Each structure stands twice: as structure tokens, then as C-alpha cells.
Chains A and B, each alone.
Chain A
């Protein structure tokens, strides 16, 4: 290359070009040509800054997991609406990016040192209260982040935080606002009212058949039944498979052999002994005497006397002496150490020298050895068989489940083939709706699958639905009942009740209106109420949260325009329950309470104002920044 340049770079312009090429390298280095530029698709652009699919995926996966955890394992999949989560996540990313850009535009900066401090102080990356670089690297790695990427993210968050806290944190409440809010929230109103409930006008005539039929036609929606389906399904579970498994004796034998180590019974030895006692704290003379005695007995045995007879006559171990010294079979770890060592160092028929233990001197005779031996196959067979069945069932389960998945996918319009091939029974569920069902339909995943477009509309077999450990079903729609209406006969009584209720409510309303009008015209409320055999209730001054006045009446009273000087304001209120109320608002006054306990309620109102205006300012800033940012979301890459 240099040769080429020398050959051809013969003029001023040629040199100039060379220099021009050198300049960018001098300033940016060669690595800017290799950084970035990877083929990652873009989900959004904010003023030409790209948010990549990878970034989006990472946040999305985390958010989805968070919601899943919140809803629990067997949540209805419909609640985890992917489209909705995606929209929230992209919204958040776009907001954060655009606000951070606005912050940069406004001249906000986070220096490297400041960034480092933020990261070092994050308890997530600390071990024993100190930043741990290795932990940091590991955690980032597990989140699929590079240090550079993470630091850019933190920097962005810090910029957003600086701008948002500055705006919302600087919110204030003026004295005037506090008073105004106190006057509104703690306001008291002097009210009186009467209520007419439809129950007061019951005993209505039974409506005619025509009326009933007309009502049914007009209000058909009220009597609708939700769409329902029943499904046929193949159910496969490892537990069911266990029964059908033929037990292969050879396999059990093999398992037995493989696991023999778990079934062995350790070696046991049988010995007899003659004990001449000498405690651990016996003095030398006593010790010597016992030892001499033992040696003497040993001599007699060696010269032909019977070990058993001598044991019976001389042994000082009362437990075994009568048995001729026999101790029976024992394994390792059951006798004192020196005794055990002696026994396990002997052959059958051997008689030991006197052995000193903390009991004294023993002359030991090894009489029998039961070699190490396995528990017999017959004894452990039931355990093995259970284990075998589980293993084979699980194996078969995976095998059959795969075939089931393949067969039902390849032949999507029937379960028959898979049923025959795999010897499964086609079962049928009762009808169930999208939101409730019994049997397998009590599982929300099953319902969601049955009502998924591919199964419900296209009529295909479903994918396998896992409904438990090693337990799947594949289903297809058997019967579909679209939204329908209960027949008139079934709902006749319901309709009669409704019509009567409506008639009563209408009467109550008409009467209430009449009372209201007469009251407005100036008649005395109390005597009016008496005339209609109703009760005029004087509630006096009440607050917004008064519990003695029916909620609807109270809310209506606080929505009425304050009355003039001389006359109460009167309004009629139709109640949701079907009744009617006539409400009189006589006076409005500021709170006696608010003035009473200043400090506490002052703080309460201050928080109310700060929250309200702070949220308005914060949201306004966000909305305004979004509006002047060029935001492009590429839906198909989400």
C-alpha cells in the first residue's frame, strides 16, 4: 500500500487526500468503524435515536416475568395480555429516551465520576457493604448487559430523574390554596331529605303476557348465555401410564444389581468371651491380678478344657456366662474398640490372648462369621418395581407425548388417529365458557386454548396443554354453542319481578317529583312528608364523609349549588336502587374542624395540593416533551 501511494502520490492534491484520510483516524481511532452497526432490528426511533429490539426484549421479558409472578402460576393467560405489556414497555422506553434527550438538550450532564458513584452505591452490587466488581460483572452478565450498555442505561435514568425530581420536587402550596382546599374538603352542609323506596309501592298487579313478551324482546341481552364449547380430548399422564407397564423381571434384576450397594447387609461375627473384670481405674496390683487370672484360664483352655465350661464357671460377665460366654452376632461399631479389633482379626475357632478393655480382660473365641450379604432381591422387589414403573412411565410419557404432539399436529382435524395409534381414550368435557368450567375446563390454560382462534375458529387440534407434572391434554372442539338466550319460559318470573320493580320505581319517582314541586313552591316539608306518610329527615350540618346519610343523597347534596340567603335549594335524585329522594340544601359553611386542629389537617391538605400540582407538572412536562419529539414506533418489530 505504501508503495502504491509512493508511486502515485505525486502532487499536492494527492498528499492532501492522504492527510484528509488520516485525520479521522487520528481523532476517532479505527474502532468506531467496528463498534455498533450490528444487524439488530429497531422497534422505535426517538428523534432518530434507535431503540433496538434487543433492548426492548430485555425489558419486556423482565416485565412479563414480574407480572406473571404477581398473578401466580395458574393465572388466566388472558390477563397476561402480551400486546398490552408490549405497549406499556415500549411506552416506558420511549418516554425515558425522549425525556433523557430533552435533559441533554437542556444542558444536563452526568459525569463519569458521578455515574461511578451511583453504581458503586447500589446495594445490589455490594457484598458486605462494599462494591464488588466481580458481583457487578456477574449480575450484568446474567441480565444480558454489557458494562457499557448498563452504564448508558443508568446515565439515562439519572438524567430523567434529575429533570423529573426538579420539576415535581419544587412543587409548592400557597397559603391561599391550603385554605381553599380546606374549605372545600372539610365543607359542611346543612341538609334534610326524604326517600321513597320502590318497596313502599309493591303489590303491583301481575303484568300481562304481552307485556312480558315485549319486555323479553326488548331486553334480550339480559338473558344471554355466554358462548360455550365442549371439547374432546386426549389426556396423557405419567401416573396413568404406570399401571399399564409390564414389569420386566430381568430389568428389575439389573436394577437390583446396579443398586446392590444400597441393599447390602454388612458382615456380622459371633463370638464368646470370658471376662475377668478390672475397671479402668483399677490399680496396678488389681490389674495384674486380673491379667494373671485370665492367663491362667487361657492356659487351662489351651490344655484342653472346654471354653464354654470355663466361661460358665469363671466369667465375670453375668449376661453371657450362663450361655457359655456366647454374645451372639454383632456388626462393627457395636462392641468396644479393642474387643472389636480382636474379633475382626480372628478366624473361626481362634481363641485370643487376654484383651484389655475398660471392662477388664477378655478371652475371646470367634465362633461364626456371617459374611457381608445383600438384602435378598425378594425383599426389595416392591421398592424396585415402583421405581421401575415410575422410570418407564416417565420415559414412555415423553415418548408418547411427542408422538401425540406430532400426530395431532400433522392430522389436525381429528383425534381418532392419535387415539388409535397411542391407545388413548377420547374423552369429552361438559360445556364450558371462556371464564368458567368444570373438570379439565377448570384449568384456565385449557379454557384459553379451547377459545383460541386456531382451535375455536379453524377447528384444529390444539397444541398439547400442560396441566400438571408430566400431564398433558390435546383437545379439539366437539360442540360449540354461540351466544344464545335463555328461553322466555325460564325467565318469566324474573321478568315479572323486573316489571313490577320498574312500575314501583316509576310510582316512587312520580310521587317524588310531585313532592319536590310542592316543596319548591313553598309548602312545609315536614307536613308534606306526613301527608304522604313519609319521613322528613333533618340531617343538620354534615361533612362529605358523613356515614349517617345515604351515599347518593350525600353526594347529591354536595353537588348542589349553595343556596341563596333566604330559601333552601331543593332537588330530586333518582336513586340507583330504583327509589327517589328529595333533598333540601339549607346552608353551606366552612369547616369548624379545619380551624380546630390546624397542624395535622394543614399537613394533610398540603400533601394533597403538592401531589395534585406536582403530578400535573410532571405529566405536563412528559407530554410536552413527547409532543415535540419525533417518535416513531415500528409495530411489526415489537
Chain B
């Protein structure tokens, strides 16, 4: 663009430019402002929901601490149903599963844990749910299903727990040899300093391959 001779010419040029582009510019600006507005509203809506869920969850934890089963079930299920997309749903589902197990409602407990496995984003929560689901299946006498559930566990952070439960499942199936191998493996991969007394008892009870003086 070349320079203008006078201010009038300059004003004239701006007016002309405005006539040609004004509408598009205003439209663009409105669109941009609207976009930012909607985005920011959505962001606030989402974090607002997460924060409400967080407050509910805090209450759920304190009810859990007080062993108030009825309240735990009610608030836990409310959290899972109302805020399924927040991280609190998975934690609440784990808590509801506990309450169900303690009431002997194994099928309902399984459903909660299965929900976590299917819906949680965090691999840790999925794996914790798998361990617990396997234990419930074992308690119901379905060792085969328990083994299948355990095989879904990824990574080795949960290996010690998984191997021990696997050993329990083999024991339930009467396969002492496989159980011994699994228990021994659980012992081998246990974190130093973790409580392995029960595991050792299980192993000893089926005749540990270790010498007695070990």
C-alpha cells in the first residue's frame, strides 16, 4: 500500500476499507468472542462439576470412616450416576463395591468393579478393581473366572498381589503345584518391607520348597 497525500485521503481510504471488510470483521469478532465465551463457560462448567463432585466425595469418605453403610451406598451411587465423567465416579464405585461385599451382595459388588474396569481412565484404578473382582469371583467359587480376571492386569506394580490371589485360585482348583509356584513368585516380587506373613503361611502350609532353616 502506498503512502497518502493528506489526512482526508487517509480517512477516505479507511472508510472505503471499512465498507468492504467491516461486516466480515464484525462477524469474525463476534464469532471469536462467542467461541471464547462458550469455551470458557464449558471449562468452568466442567471444573464446577468436578468441584461439586469433590465435595460430595469428601462427605462419602467421612461416611465411610463412620461405617455408615446406608449413607455410603446412597451417596456413592449418587456420585457414580451423577458425575460418571469425573474421576470421583470410579473411586465412589470402589467404595460402593466394598459396602456391597460387606452386605454379602456379591453380584452388585461385581457390577461396580466391572464398571470401574470398563469406565475408569486410570490404569491403577482398573487394576485395583480387577484384583478385587477376582477375589469376589474366588469367594463365589469361580476360580476359573478369577484367573481370567487376573490375567487382565497390566504392568507389574500389582504383580505380588495378583500372584498371591492366583495362588489362592489354584488352591481352590486343587492344583497345589501351580499354587506353590504362584505363591513363591508372589514372595519373590514382593516389595522389601511389605507384610508377607500371611503369604508365607500359605506357602508353608502346602510345604515350602525352602529348607526349614531358611
What residues make up the interface of A, taking CB atoms closer than 8 Å to B? 10-12, 102-103, 105-111, 113-114, 162-163, 165-167, 169-172, 174-177, 180-181, 184-185, 187, 555-556, 558-562, 571, 573-574, 608, 611-613, 615-617, 619-621, 623-625, 627-628
Chain B residue at minimum C-beta to C-beta distance from A102: B122
Please name 7 pairs of A and B residues whose Cβ atoms are closer than 8 Å in the assembled complex, sorted by A: A114-B55, A166-B57, A175-B139, A176-B138, A184-B198, A561-B206, A562-B207
CA of A608 to CA of B201 in the docked complex: distance in angstroms? 13
Interface residue B51 (Cβ < 8 Å from any Cβ of A): yes
Contact of A114 among B54, B98, B104, B205 (CB under 8 A): B54
Interface residues of B (CB under 8 A from A): 1, 3, 17, 21, 47-48, 50-55, 57-58, 61, 64-65, 85-88, 90-92, 94-95, 97-98, 101-102, 104, 120-125, 127-128, 131-132, 135-136, 138-139, 155, 157-158, 160-161, 168, 191, 194-195, 198, 201-202, 204-208, 210, 212-213
A187 to B206, CA, bound (A): 13
Q: Within the assembled complex, what's the spacing in Å between the Cα atoms of A219 and B53?
A: 68
What residues of chain B lie closer than 8 Å to A103, measured between beta carbons?
A: 87
Residues of B with C-beta under 8 A to A171? 98
Cα-based distance from A185 to B50 in the complex (angstroms): 45
Q: Please, how many angstroms separate the alpha-carbon atoms of A105 and B120 in the complex?
A: 11
Query: Are B1 and A177 interface neighbours, CB within 8 A?
Result: no
Complex Cα gap A466–B168 (Å): 61
Residues of A within 8 A of B205 (CB): 184, 187, 562
Closest-by-CB residue of B relative to A556 is B212
Partner pick for A169 among B61, B101, B198, CB 8 A cutoff: B61
Looking at chain A's contact residues, is the secondary structure mostly helix, strand, loop, or mixed? helix
Determine the distance from Cα of A428 to Cα of B47 in the docked complex, in whole angstroms.
72
Q: Which of A111, A562, A612, A625 contacts B51 (CB 8 A)?
A: A111
Contacts of A169 in B (CB 8 A): 61, 64-65, 95, 98
Residues of A within 8 A of B95 (CB): 166, 169-170
Instruction: State whether B47 touches A170 (Cβ < 8 A).
Output: no
3 pairs of A and B residues whose beta carbons are closest in the complex? A561-B207, A111-B51, A107-B87
Determine the chain A residues whose CB is within 8 A of the CB of B123 once the complex forms: 624, 628
In the complex, A170 Cα to B104 Cα: how many Å? 15
- The residue on A at minimum CB distance from B195 is A612
> Given A562-B205, A627-B157, are A162 and B102 also a contact pair (CB < 8 Å)?
no
Indicate which residue in A11, A559, A620 contacts B208 across the interface (CB closer than 8 Å): A559
- Interchain CB contact (< 8 A) of B121 among A11, A107, A187, A621: A107
Question: Which of A108, A177, A611, A617 sits near B139, CB closer than 8 Å?
Answer: A177
Contact B206 A111 (CB under 8 A): no
With A184-B198, A620-B128, A624-B158 as contacts: A167 and B91 at CB distance below 8 Å: yes
Determine if A620 and B64 form an interchain contact, defined as CB atoms under 8 angstroms apart: no
* A125 → B minimal CB distance (Å): 19
Contact: A10 with B201, CB < 8 Å?
no
Count of A-B residue pairs with CB < 8 Å: 161
Known: A167-B91, A616-B161. A107 touches B128 (CB 8 A): no
Kindly state the separation between the CA atoms of A617 and B131 in the bound complex, as whole angstroms: 9
With A162-B57, A620-B127 as contacts: A608 and B194 at CB distance below 8 Å: no
Contact A114 B94 (CB under 8 A): no
**Chain A nearest CB: distance from B62 CB in Å?**
10
Instruction: Across the interface, name the chain A residue whose C-beta is closest to B121.
Output: A106
Chain B residues whose C-beta falls within 8 Å of the C-beta of A611 in the assembled complex: 195
Nearest to A185 among chain B residues (CB) is B201
- The verdict on A165 contacting B61 (CB below 8 Å), with A573-B212, A625-B124 known, is yes
- Whether B61 pairs with A166 at a CB distance below 8 angstroms is yes
Residues of B within 8 A of A110 (CB): 51, 54
- With beta carbons under 8 angstroms apart, the residue of B1, B92, B125, B168 that contacts A11 is B1
Contact B54 A109 (CB under 8 A): yes
What residues of A have a CB within 8 angstroms of the CB of B52 in the complex? Answer: 111
* Chain B residues with CB below 8 A from A12, complex form: 17, 21
Q: How far is the CA of A394 from the CA of B135 in the complex (A)?
A: 73
Find out whether the CB atom of B157 lies under 8 angstroms from the CB atom of A623: yes
- Whether the pair B128, A108 counts as a contact (CB closer than 8 A) is no
CA gap between A110 and B86 in the complex, in Å: 13
Cβ-defined contact, B198 with A181, below 8 A: yes
CA distance A432 to B81 in the complex (A): 72
With a cutoff of 8 Å between Cβ atoms, the chain A residues found around residue B124 in the complex are 102, 167, 620-621, 624-625
Assess A624 versus B61: contact at CB under 8 Å? Given A162-B91, A167-B94, A170-B95.
no
* Closest residue of B by beta carbon distance from A167: B128
Is B55 within 8 A of A111, CB to CB? Answer: yes
Complex Cα–Cα for A10 and B4 (A): 10
Instruction: Please name all residues of chain B whose beta carbon is closer than 8 Å to the beta carbon of A166 when the two chains form the complex.
Output: 57, 61, 91-92, 94-95
**CB distance A558 to B213 under 8 Å?**
no
Contact present for A612 and B101 (CB under 8 Å) = no
What residue of chain B has the Cβ atom nearest to residue A10's Cβ? B1
The answer on a CB contact under 8 Å between B125 and A167 is: yes
- State A167–B58 Cα separation when bound (angstroms): 14
Q: Find the B residue at minimum CB distance from A611.
A: B195
What is the CA–CA distance of A323 and B132 in the complex, to the nearest angstrom?
Answer: 107
Checking A108, A559, A617, A624 against B155 with a beta-carbon cut-off of 8 angstroms, the contacting residue is: A624
Residues of B with C-beta under 8 A to A185 = 198, 201
Question: Which residues does chain B contribute within 8 Å of A615, judged by CB atoms?
Answer: 194-195
A555–B54 Cα distance when bound, in Å, is: 50
Contact B1 A170 (CB under 8 A): no
User: Which of B121, B198, B207 gathers the greatest number of chain A CB atoms within 10 Å?
Assistant: B198
* Inter-chain contact B91/A559, CB cutoff 8 Å: no
